Structure 1
């Protein structure tokens, strides 16, 4: 059952990538949170400082300001410290936010920060694999097509009179590296995989598949969809649900939330019911 979050003591951990990606949204989120609660703001320079800040939170409720990777990092750290069940997390998404939004977190710094202050703590299921990796939102096999960065374009600073660039902010923007250009990377082709759910085979190696999707649902059950390879007319997806999902076959890669892992020949994911808690807008 959801409980309303308290916003008296907040530990606001601002991921360094968020500060580089969208400093204005970070500033807005910090202002809204500070106006509504007693906050301690941490500006870690990297993953190690991020982990230290989270580990020293004390009685403060942690608020992650950052992208999906920062959210997954926080949940993973708490899971490995065996503190996940007793720590309600909040997030203000800045940067890549597809996972956070799929979980019900509002987009936009103001709306997300207000949800931190006024929202409700919602217990959520997740998947844990046999390598102790986590899936909060969705698992995809093979990974969906990704966009990979190529070399960033060099930046030149105009000679002449730099003081005419009126403000410090404009100078910083001039000196900042331009975003890397992106190019599409095609997804792998069909795979031959065996998919077992709670010990029952849903599809075997003799049936090539285009994709397997596993999503933690609610009540300790995962939703599984397998799209067989279609020739001509589109094949009907195979769907099932269960507490344990095992995928085996040739070497395969998979996308878990914001990261691609593998290759592996076999992996089992198990649902952990109400394993973590996320602050979401009241009523969702």
Structure 2
């Protein structure tokens, strides 16, 4: 067999093996892998790369090396999932760097973390003042996780006791101009509904690059032609406006009538419609 052909075959097989090992081993971004995980994958890649061009290395020896390194990597990953003590030994535990708003200098020295690095990691978390930090921990992969003080945390709807609409995962129903039937079925919809919604937006399927159904059941689309403007949905804003119009009309009727019973009924209707408005507004304003 010609040398160039053997190199090509080895390289192709090595590429396939690397993909298979990587998929079995770990599914993490490079920035979230530990030094050990990165080292194991890099070692396997180096073995495959060298074995692809060093024809003097027998195939059997190359396979043994791959089996040992890949088996060790997969075995460590499996044991780490099954045993917390083993996981702590291999990857280490999170080390507090700040506690109760104070920097723990001794822990910084143990982790070889300089003040400049601490400030840089804090800035990466959008924290520019050390005084704003309540607690910070350095994870095994070198990432710094930060808990800011209560008064520095953003206000949430829960803090205000405000009701908000539940969030559903958006479903992509058109991709690259093709309809995806499974996401449509997940929402209990069909292609006829989709075509009707596209007609409302003066769009045809062939012109739609991507379309998604948001948490409120509204269809949003992106066209192949970036110069074309897509009209915004008006259904929920119209519902909000109609409810307010009904409330205003009922209040007017209540003021105009001289009948005490009718006035009382109109006021009761106003109260009921205001309750409806309070229940619906999280959905209409979220659009």
TM-score (norm 1): 0.21
From the CA coordinates, give the structure whose radius of gyration is larger. 2
Task: Answer 1 or 2: higher relative contact order, Cα 8 Å, separation at least 6.
Answer: 1
More helix by share: 2
